[in-house]
Amino acid sequence: MNPAATPCLIFNPSAQGGRAGRFGPHPAIPGGQCVFLATSAPGDARRLAAQAVRDGFQTIIAAGGDGTANEVLNGIADVPGGLRAVRLGILPVGTGNVFARELRLPLRARRAWKVLAQARERTIDLGRAQFTLAGLPQRRYFLQLAGAGLDSRAIELTEWNVKTKIGPFAYLLAAFKALSEKRPLVTVQAGETLAGEWVAVGNGRFFGGPVPLFPSARLDDGLLHICVLPKTGFFILPAALAGLAVGRMHQFCRARQLTAPVLTLASPARVLLQLDGENVGELPATLSVEPKALRVIVP
């Protein structure tokens, strides 16, 4: 086996309620060759991806959801020169598949395999976050989005067994739970200072699925796109969801949107930071963009 010519696929067997665990050789793979590596615990995809880079693989495919893709990305980045040497492929078999939608990848595995086999490349920006975890400084990349406030609390409240049954609607149920709690303010500094109970930061257009929260964003524009919702609540949420659905949230509620290459998030209370749909640490955090830092396979 030649790692330089053979793709390595890292998959989360629990994605899509366990259906993602049924992988095997596919006729779309050149020569029918592919190395399959299964994760067994959170963090495994990152470790496996880093080892795959060291072993000489030049194409690494993340099979799962946005969380798995984020782990694989960070494993590639953990190895010096990994982002230059390796291209990332996505086989979207997760819950939301937000980044796959951003890349316009087919959401059916058989069609996605064909895209991966063609190996057409694009170079995109990466988001980078510096934050704290257990009191220690951390650095981590993100592909699509970051958030703090209502959405990171909803992720914390999402129950795994509910998620396997109703998919992305589990996050909506958890958001309603979060709305019944006291919601701390998050301060955003990005050229100007804003504050809100929910802050979303996008590298691309979509948030939470096929929802164009940042309709003007591009994956290679060198900017992060920011949405700040000053207040959240049961009376505000319907208008916010309507605005999300049509990509004009600021016209339906008091959301503020701006762009910046660098921003900071802080709060006097405990607020979690989510990257690509998974909570990774706590505020304060600094988010920035690394222009055209990642090679990805696209249709």
pLDDT at 4 over 80: no
**Confidence band for 27, pLDDT divided at 50, 70 and 90:** very low
Higher pLDDT, residue 27 or 146: 146
pTM: 0.89
- Name which of 22-31, 94-103, 128-137, 282-291 the model is least confident about: 22-31
Dump pLDDT digits (tens) for 53-88.
Answer: 999 999 999 999 999 999 999 999 999 999 999 999
Residue 20 has a pLDDT of 47
Lowest mean pLDDT among 109-113, 218-222, 242-246: 242-246
The per-residue pLDDT for 62 is: 96
- Enter the tokens of residue 190: 């990005």
**Domains with residue ranges and CATH for the chain:** 8-118 (3.40.50.10330), 127-292 (2.60.200.40)
Summarised one tens digit per residue, pLDDT across range 256-299 is 999 999 999 999 999 999 999 999 999 999 999 999 999 999 99
Q: Identify the H or E element spanning 137.
A: strand 136-142
- Do 63 and 11 form a contact (C-beta atoms < 8 A)? yes
User: Looking at residues 123-142, what average pLDDT do you find?
Assistant: 95
The string of pLDDT tens digits covering residues 143-168 is 999 999 999 998 988 887 777 777 77
Across the chain, mean pLDDT equals 88
Q: β-strand 35-38 against 8-11: which pairing, if any?
A: parallel
